[in-house]
Amino acid sequence: MITARNNLRTQIAHVVQMLDWVKTATDTYGGEYDDHIRADHWTDIYEAVYNYLTSSESITKYRNDARKAVVNNFPPAFYSGYADESGGSETEDDDEAWLTKAMNEALTFVDEMFSSLKDKRGQEGLEADAEASTRADGYRGTLDTVYSQGKLRGAKNQTLEFDGDDGEESCTTCVGLKGKRRTIKWILENDMIPGPGNENFVCNGYKCQHFWKNPKTGERYTF
């Protein structure tokens, strides 16, 4: 286990070393997310899960295949979003820190996923195709979040407006922000993204239906 984790850290470190090169080439990713990166990630995860469930081989190879999908697809997804919004300007240190953290978290989830799959493999009635598709759908959704975060960070100087239905519950934080405009940079630096568990909101983000939107187009920003 220790050896595997050390290998994983080495793999991540290698990717981080490559980020400087990627930062200078963000324009090459613009517009490619939906057509290539997103589809590739779904396929990579699907194949790793399906091939594991339908084999009798060790878990290691297939788990590593899924890890490689994260390592290979997270950076281009993030930089694609960044380039789509910024036109290819270089990222900042906090952007790189966010991406590295997101990759680490995703790699941990991969380990947990395969621990769960290990218990399922060989069970009577298991539908490998359905299981693999469900897992791939979930990881594609995670990649969408990475792309959205890149897009958001590529537009740091853009101003968003706080909006949304107050719903069953609201709080003084949400009420105070409703209709107010803030730059994306301010939103990120102050962690004012509405959502479950955000203690910067009095409501902690639970049952919160608020969001940040582009005041000109009405586009809702996802984080």
Encode pLDDT of 169-178 as tens digits: 678 899 899 9
For the chain, give every domain's residue range: 2-153, 159-221
Q: What is the pLDDT of residues 86-123, one digit of tens each?
A: 877 789 899 999 999 999 999 999 999 999 999 999 88
Burial of 119 (0-12, 13-18, 19+ CB in 10 A): exposed
SS3 214: coil
Structure tokens at 119: 């218990």
Number of C-beta neighbours around residue 153 at 10 A:
22
8 A C-beta contact, residue 156 and residue 95 = no
pLDDT given at position 157: 81
Instruction: Write out residues in the chain with pLDDT < 70, as ranges.
Output: 1-32, 167-169, 222-223
- Separation of alpha carbons 33 and 29, rounded Å: 7
User: 219 near 151, Cβ under 8 Å?
Assistant: no
Q: What is the pLDDT of residue 167?
A: 62
Identify the residue whose tokens are 């697809």.
73
Report the SS3 class of residue 208: coil
Q: Report the DSSP beta bridge partners of residue 220.
A: 213
72's enclosing H/E stretch is helix 59-86
Q: Phi and psi dihedrals of 213, rounded to 5? A: -135, 160
pTM: 0.68
CA 176 to chain centroid, in Å, comes to 29
Measured distance between the N- and C-terminal CA atoms of the chain, rounded to whole angstroms: 33
Rg (CA), the chain: 19
Q: Given this model, what pLDDT does residue 21 score?
A: 32
pLDDT at residue 113 in the model: 97
Crossing angle (nearest 10°) for helices 38-53 and 93-120: 30
- We find that the CATH architecture of domain 2-153 is Up-down Bundle (1.20)
